[in-house]
Homo-oligomer: A and B are copies of this chain.
């Protein structure tokens, strides 16, 4: 993801760091705890391994996600939110999630929310 070379306020920086089609969902999925690559691939609907790796890599570079590789057999790799930055960003994402829910409600789309298990059926 290309960062702009100059920015006016730190907000722009962070926006650039988390822009990209899949970054928010990846982070959102990671709020549930450490996960393997293949698990993420299964859980995030429609993502390809390539996209997942690409976006994960950036999230790691910017310090939102950390990767732990365990030696031994079977091979195991875990991705998780970083305590500091990752968890903090999660707070912002929670707000956005709430806004999305309210938005759908107030636009007569409760059915979508129910269908996705966000609201009780």
Q: Report which A residues bind B (CB closer than 8 A).
A: 4, 8-15, 19, 21, 24-25, 28, 44-46, 62-63, 84-85, 88-89, 91-93, 95-104, 113, 116, 118
* Cross-chain pairs A/B with CB under 8 angstroms, 27 sampled: A8-B25, A8-B44, A8-B45, A9-B97, A9-B116, A10-B99, A10-B100, A10-B113, A10-B118, A11-B24, A11-B25, A11-B28, A11-B96, A12-B100, A13-B100, A13-B103, A13-B104, A14-B96, A14-B97, A14-B99, A15-B24, A19-B19, A63-B103, A84-B102, A85-B103, A88-B95, A92-B95
Contact of A10 among B14, B21, B104 (CB under 8 A): B104
